[in-house]
């Protein structure tokens, strides 16, 4: 049970608005969220590997926006940037781990380097930023960590297994983190977007070198995925505003699917899991020790 003081910290924004720290703001959801935060009247530390892509944010909102260069795979730089972020406005209220990229292909098609690079950015990058931010949030006894996952963090699809693996990892870690820090006044929300009209399905998506035998499964799935580019049904600006609304809620959700498609896919996955649990319950429950005890003898 959270104490009253920490709950009040969530309900009352600090003077000047909340201070958001958002990674990967050069494009897509990160950019949309950065703009929405500033339009909402809050303060922002926006990061990107190339600050020229976000320098306009500081020019447009000189009193409320700071831009910092950050590659989340650079461990030493992560710590330095978090210190700079706290110095900018004196506190951190919302830390958003958005930096990452997509990777598609059959498991066999990936090189070892591609696999490790994907996990280095999408998992260890998230861990590095989260771990560097937590001491500041603990000291404040308040704050909110927002992890940008995906519907792929719940439902793994053909050709998306490695990317989904990174998001499954972030979800599992973050679910535990939420329970570890709740008594400190820190909240955690995992955002699970479905298809949004960003460049994720186009320029930002990386494809492994194809193997011909996977053309009928992974190849066809990849073509369908690419065909969505520019035609995704959901608006990132509206998704960003939904994230802000969730953060401001008195009791924010642990998980926030975004888009009807995400809700439909997640519900179908959960229903399928329940059916399988029920179908195999009899076998699943045959593993307890018999009356002979834990000796292994029956």
Residues carrying an active site annotation: 149, 163, 167
Q: Rounded to an integer, what distance in angstroms lies between the CA atom of residue 186 and that of residue 94?
A: 10
User: pLDDT category, 79, cuts 50, 70, 90?
Assistant: very high
pLDDT of residue 194: 87
Does the structural domain 4-263 have CATH classification 3.40.50.720? Answer: yes
Q: Tell me the C-alpha distance between 278 and 270, whole Å.
A: 12
pLDDT tens readout for residues 235-285: 899 999 999 999 999 999 999 999 999 999 999 999 999 999 999 999 999
Cα(177)–Cα(143) distance, integer angstroms: 13
List pLDDT tens digits, range 24-59: 999 899 999 999 999 999 999 999 999 999 999 999
CA distances from 193 to 169, 198, 256 (A): 16, 11, 8
pLDDT value of residue 5: 41
Its pTM stands at 0.89
């Amino acid at each position: 049970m959270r104490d009253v003081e920490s709950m009040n910290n969530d309900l009352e924004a600090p003077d000047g608005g909340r201070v958001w720290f958002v990674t990967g703001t050069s494009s897509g959801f990160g950019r949309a969220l950065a703009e929405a935060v500033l339009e909402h009247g809050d303060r922002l530390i926006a990061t990107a590997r190339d600050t020229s892509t976000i320098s306009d944010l500081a020019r447009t909102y000189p009193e409320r926006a700071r831009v910092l260069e950050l590659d989340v795979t650079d461990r030493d730089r992560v710590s330095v940037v978090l210190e700079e972020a706290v110095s900018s406005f004196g506190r951190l209220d919302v830390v958003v781990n958005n930096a990452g990229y997509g990777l598609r292909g059959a498991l066999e098609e990936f090189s070892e380097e591609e696999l490790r690079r994907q996990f280095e950015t999408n998992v260890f990058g998230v861990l590095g930023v989260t771990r560097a931010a937590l001491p500041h949030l603990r000291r404040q006894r308040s704050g909110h960590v927002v992890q940008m996952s995906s519907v792929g963090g719940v439902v793994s699809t053909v050709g998306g297994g490695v990317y989904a693996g990174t998001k499954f990892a972030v979800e599992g870690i973050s679910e535990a983190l939420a329970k570890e820090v709740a008594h400190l006044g820190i909240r955690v929300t995992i955002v699970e977007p479905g298809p949004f009209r960003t460049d994720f399905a186009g320029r930002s998506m990386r494809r492994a070198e194809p193997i011909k035998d996977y053309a009928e499964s992974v190849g066809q799935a990849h073509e369908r995925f690419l065909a969505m580019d520019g035609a995704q049904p959901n608006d990132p600006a509206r998704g960003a505003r939904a994230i802000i609304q969730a953060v401001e809620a008195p009791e924010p959700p642990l998980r926030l699917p975004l888009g009807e498609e995400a809700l439909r896919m997640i519900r179908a996955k959960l229903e399928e899991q329940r059916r399988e649990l029920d179908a195999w319950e009899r076998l699943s429950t045959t593993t307890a020790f018999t009356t002979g005890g834990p000796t292994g003898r029956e």
